[in-house]
């Protein structure tokens, strides 16, 4: 019965993560896992670039705050994706689901940092103006 639950969870979960990673017409799980890992790596690089670029605009106190926020966010992302993919833990699709979730959340965080970097003077939720 547990295998049936994991299989059902995988069928229900896969459409949600398939949109997060564009792996084309891959038909093997191994290929999909490798593709999802590469997509995650690419989004993580974009995150690092956005973080460094935005951080350069901040004063020392804000840089420290941003570092704390980013560490907490990374922990949240990883724990959240581990939880979301826990229904298929141990299956061959788990690496794909985990990487897809991390990619999707990382892309959202990149956009958040870009919005902060480009916010207008006078925006009360814009910590970049000294």
- The answer to whether residue 28 is domain-embedded is no
What number of residues does the chain have? 130
Has residue 26 been placed in a domain?
Answer: no
Residue 16, domain member (yes or no): no
Structure confidence at residue 23 (pLDDT):
77
Report the chain's mean pLDDT, rounded to a whole number.
Answer: 85
Q: How many domains does the chain have?
A: 1
| Phi-psi domain of 8 (left: phi exceeds 0; alpha: psi -120 through 50; beta: other) | alpha
Would residue 72 count as lying in a domain?
A: yes
- State pLDDT tens for residues 59-115: 999 999 999 999 999 999 999 999 999 999 999 999 999 999 999 999 999 999 999
Residue 50: the pLDDT is 97
- On whether residue 5 sits in a domain, the answer given is no
Domain of residue 98: give its range.
40-86+93-106
| pLDDT at 123 (0 to 100) | 82
CB 85 within 8 A of CB 26: no
Is 30 part of a structural domain of the chain? no
Structure-token pair, residue 83:
């939880």
Say whether pLDDT at 130 is over 80: no
The reply to whether 50 falls in a domain is yes
Q: Is the pLDDT of residue 32 over 90?
A: yes
Q: Tell whether the model's pLDDT for residue 19 goes beyond 50.
A: no
Tell me, yes or no, whether 100 lies in a domain.
Answer: yes
């Amino acid at each position: 019965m547990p295998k049936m639950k994991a299989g059902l969870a995988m069928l229900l979960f896969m459409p949600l993560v398939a949109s997060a990673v564009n792996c084309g017409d891959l038909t093997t799980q191994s290929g999909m896992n490798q593709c999802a890992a590469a997509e995650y790596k690419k989004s993580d690089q974009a995150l690092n670039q956005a973080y460094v670029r935005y951080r350069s605009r901040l004063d020392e106190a804000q840089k420290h705050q941003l570092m704390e926020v980013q560490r907490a966010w990374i922990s949240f992302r990883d724990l959240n994706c581990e939880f979301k993919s826990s229904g298929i833990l141990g299956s061959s699709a788990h690496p794909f689901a985990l990487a897809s979730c991390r990619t999707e959340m990382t892309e959202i965080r990149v956009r958040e940092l870009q919005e902060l970097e480009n916010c207008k003077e006078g925006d009360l939720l814009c910590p970049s103006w000294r």
